C-alpha cells in the first residue's frame, strides 16, 4: 500500500464515514474505493443478464431441467 497526499472535501468525507460506519479516514477511503469497484462489477453482471450474454437462461430446454 502506498501513501498519497490528496485534498479531500471534509463534508463529503464525514458523510461517507457515517454511511460506511468507518472508524478512520483511511478506512473510509479504502471502503469507498472498494464499494466503487464492487458497484462496477455488479453493473457488469446486470448488463450481462439484460443482454443474456453467454447465459443459458433463455434456453427453454435447459431452464426446464433446472426446475426439476
* Residue 67 DSSP SS3: coil
In the chain, count of helices (H) and strands (E)?
3, 0
Say how far apart CA 43 and CA 59 lie, in whole Å: 23
Q: Which residue has the higher pLDDT, 57 or 67?
A: 57
The mean pLDDT of 32-58, rounded to a whole number, is 91
Is pLDDT at 64 greater than 80 in this prediction? yes
Residues 28, 22 contacting (CB under 8 angstroms): yes
pLDDT of 22 above 80: yes
Residue 62: per-residue pLDDT: 82
CA–CA distance, 51 with 25 (Å, rounded to integer): 39
Q: Are 58 and 52 in contact (CB under 8 A)?
A: yes
Amino acid at each position: 500500500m502506498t501513501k498519497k497526499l490528496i485534498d479531500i472535501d471534509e463534508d463529503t468525507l464525514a458523510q461517507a464515514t457515517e454511511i460506511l460506519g468507518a472508524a478512520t479516514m483511511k478506512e473510509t477511503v479504502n471502503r469507498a474505493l472498494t464499494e466503487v469497484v464492487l458497484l462496477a462489477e455488479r453493473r457488469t453482471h446486470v448488463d450481462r443478464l439484460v443482454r443474456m450474454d453467454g447465459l443459458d437462461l433463455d434456453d427453454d430446454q435447459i431452464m426446464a431441467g433446472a426446475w426439476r
